[in-house]
Amino acid sequence: MAVLGARQGSGVLLRPELVLTSAHLFEKGDAVEVAAPNGDGRVPCDVVWSGDPKTCDVALLVARRPVLSFRHAAPLRWGKCAGWQPMPRCQVLGFPQVQRYGPGELEAVQVPGTLMPLSGRMRGRYVLHADHHPPGPVPDGSPWAGLSGGPVFAGPLLIGIASGDPMGWQHSSVESVPLSAVIDDAGFRKALLEHWPDAPDFEEVTSAYPEDLIYEPAYAKAVKAAYSRLEIFGLDELGPGDWDLDTAYFSLEAQSPCPTDPEPPGLPEATGVPAPQGTLDSPGIPDPPDAPEPSDVPEPRRIEDLLGSRPRTVLRGEAGAGKTTLVWWLASHAVCRTLPEQLAELDGLIPFVVPMRSLAARGITSPTPSQLPKIARLPVDRPPDGWAGRVLEAGRGLLLVDGMDEIPQADRELARKWLAGLLRMYPRTRCLVTVRPLAVGSDWLDQEGFEELRLLPMGDEDIRSFAAAWHRAARLECDRYADEHWAKRQRDRLDKLEPELGQEFERNAVLRDLARTPLLCAVICALHRQWNGLLPKTRWDLYSAALNLMLARRDAHRRILKPEGIELTADESRQLLQRIAVWLVRNGRAELSREQAVRQLGLALRGLRRVRAQGATPVVLTYLLNRSGLLQEQAPDSIQFIHRTFQDYLAAKELQESDCLDELLLHAAEEQWQDVLRLAVGHCGRSEEKRLIAGLTAAADAAPDRETEWPLRALAAHCALNAKYIEDDQYQQVWAGLKRLLPSRNQRELHSLGQDVVAAMVTAVRS
């Protein structure tokens, strides 16, 4: 913009009413105006700070009304030269004498050039050598007169304010005052923060790299495209309904460890043995008698309120708790600068989403910075060489490491070393790591300055809010129907079902406990819709009903017959999917290639003659990918289940049906197998339940130390609580073994018990 005082100069608009320019353009008391291209004429200004023209030739102006609207402009970024090598592709903008085509007619100029960091160092100046032929001399001074106060940019970074035309260079150079020097003046800093409290931090720059400017908007667009749509489980007849993330996103509560006692107190020693439970889940867990005083426990807060003040966070959450949804939401909003005020520290950062399951499937153990933009396989061209490293070096990166539990346990230490090394190399990088509660120790990343947060189960009010949001999204689904009469019928039906489900949640504590995670709450909403108000009673009934609807009734409901030329029953599809699921569990994987999937399906088809007669194995795989709603291929040659919970459920069923309970018991001490084992008990018959519980008890009796024994006792207690048939002597034996270890010593032990076991123990203590 043009600055009009005793002399005409140039300036740069920091905010709609805040202008930075040169101090030598006016004297104290001068009237000052500014005018911007496409602006609304001249705007009077007040000088709120002015430096010494000889040493700090910069002034800060406040316009008496907005000069321009910033609604669609990206926030200004500030930089400083961090090296001494010449920096090409810089530029200065302004309204110099040489660009005038008539008396009083101003015209802007854009002067590209190379910044020479050492050339003006002794005088505290930057020197820009113009790339083009220098302008010819003018009779009454410098041809650059009027350029003073103009912004000097290195790429997207404002690094200086033009101040003069150095002698002896025949007008081929322009001097500027570095902003990094101005900010050191206490008066300037005070005036700036009064009018711009959110002024940006300085970013170090060693070269301008204009190709970064071209690439970053394309990368932002690709991130938005990849992560702004979410599959809401249960919409589109329990298929993967694809919805705008802002419609699907639900803010969850989280909690940090107690500041005075990060390890929670152990449960008190039980005075009796809990009575057998008739359902899978018990009502909410009451505090044990020796729980800490409420004032000692950090208050639960919404996750957005906690993440903004934590540069590095390990976020723990159960399966289906919403960890990946949060990662996607952060990525899509950070890159578009649309995060809420609580997360202003993350707004505008460049997100690198690292799905750990994809790394494991592709054999990548320690991705380099240059690999980070490629891991998520975004629909964008290859980045400029070194771009990711420059982003991280400047402190502009947001590293989102999703699913540390989805790589084999043996590889997690290598992953920790990779992450630690990367963050030591780029210490200003903000980082979020998501993981299941027991996958890594509480001190796993302590040395790297990580803080712990834990996603909490949804409370009763959250369940009601989530169900309301799910039904809103379902009503939006009706807008996709071509038949408006049918759409109205479905909307009316949802209007009737929503309050009925709310009443079910109010009166049925077991149902509420099943709905404590977003995933299972969505499944309940979907089944309630499909079953016209009927609902399953246990977790196994819930999974079984969801699978039956997805595998059989979904296409029948839509009158889709023999898609891909194949027709499978729900049981046939389930048996095929079980083979893939158990292979993933046995190999500690979360993804497999098409070739591996075809091989496993081929083994399953040996016993499925009717399916085998309908098509070749690759055709069957295509059918499952397109029609089951349970498998997805998010990237070429990388197949996974839509959620690991379904993978574990199907793997448990396969191990039970193939008489491989001994294999389960062999791996009972391994964290990646324990969720499978917990689900297996619900598939077992009477003799199998007895055998499974006896095996866990025997393994616990033979354990060499408490660390090994505790999870085995916890698993045995879980199976005993949820067994459909268990004799009293075996039930008493299980609880006597756990009782000998009480009280729990740390948070890890408490978590490993599980909600149902803790609830049963506390009930027994208080009875």
Q: What does the pLDDT look like over 476-491, one tens digit per residue?
A: 878 777 788 888 998 9
Two tokens, residue 576: 């095929």
Q: Indicate the SS3 state at residue 475.
A: helix
pLDDT band at 514 (very low <50, low <70, confident <90, very high): confident
Q: What are the two backbone dihedrals, phi and then psi, of residue 504, each rounded to the nearest 5 degrees?
A: -65, -45
pLDDT score at 168: 80
pLDDT band at 116 (very low <50, low <70, confident <90, very high): very high
Distance CA 103, CA 110 (A): 21
**Which residue bears the tokens 């790339």?**
131
pLDDT score at 260: 40
DSSP state of 763: H
Q: Reply yes or no on whether the pLDDT at 74 is more than 80.
A: no
pLDDT band at 283 (very low <50, low <70, confident <90, very high): very low
Q: What does the pLDDT look like over 718-758, one tens digit per residue?
A: 999 989 999 999 999 999 999 898 888 887 788 778 777 77
pLDDT more than 90, % of the chain: 47
Distance CA 578, CA 566 (A): 19
Contacts of 214 (CB under 8 A, 6+ apart): none
Q: Reply yes or no on whether the pLDDT at 239 is more than 90.
A: no
Q: Indicate the SS3 state at residue 360.
A: helix
pLDDT band at 361 (very low <50, low <70, confident <90, very high): low
Question: What Cα–Cα distance (Å) separates residue 310 from each residue in 199, 250, 257?
Answer: 20, 21, 14
pLDDT score at 634: 66
**Which residue bears the tokens 């919409």?**
235
Q: Reply yes or no on whether the pLDDT at 554 is more than 60.
A: no
pLDDT score at 329: 93
Q: Reply yes or no on whether the pLDDT at 60 is more than 50.
A: yes
Q: What does the pLDDT look like over 429-482, one tens digit per residue?
A: 999 999 988 778 878 888 899 999 999 989 999 999 999 988 888 888 787 777
Two tokens, residue 744: 């729990």
Q: What does the pLDDT look like over 582-597, one tens digit per residue?
A: 999 999 888 899 999 9
User: How does strand 18-21 pair with strand 59-63?
Assistant: antiparallel
pLDDT score at 555: 47
Question: What Cα–Cα distance (Å) separates residue 420 from each residue in 67, 297, 310, 349, 362?
Answer: 47, 30, 17, 20, 21
Two tokens, residue 203: 């970013």
pLDDT band at 73 (very low <50, low <70, confident <90, very high): low
Distance CA 210, CA 89 (A): 7
Contact (Cβ atoms closer than 8 angstroms) between residue 689 and residue 681: yes
Nearest to 542 by CA among 679, 397, 409, 405: 679
Q: Reply yes or no on whether the pLDDT at 285 is more than 50.
A: no
pLDDT band at 268 (very low <50, low <70, confident <90, very high): very low
Which residue type does 568 have?
A: L
Distance CA 460, CA 467 (A): 11
Q: What is the pTM of this model?
A: 0.68
Contacts of 269 (CB under 8 A, 6+ apart): 739, 742, 743
Nearest to 456 by CA among 596, 613, 243, 285: 285
Average pLDDT of the chain is 85
Question: What Cα–Cα distance (Å) separates residue 520 from each residue in 232, 472, 513, 703, 753?
Answer: 11, 17, 10, 34, 20
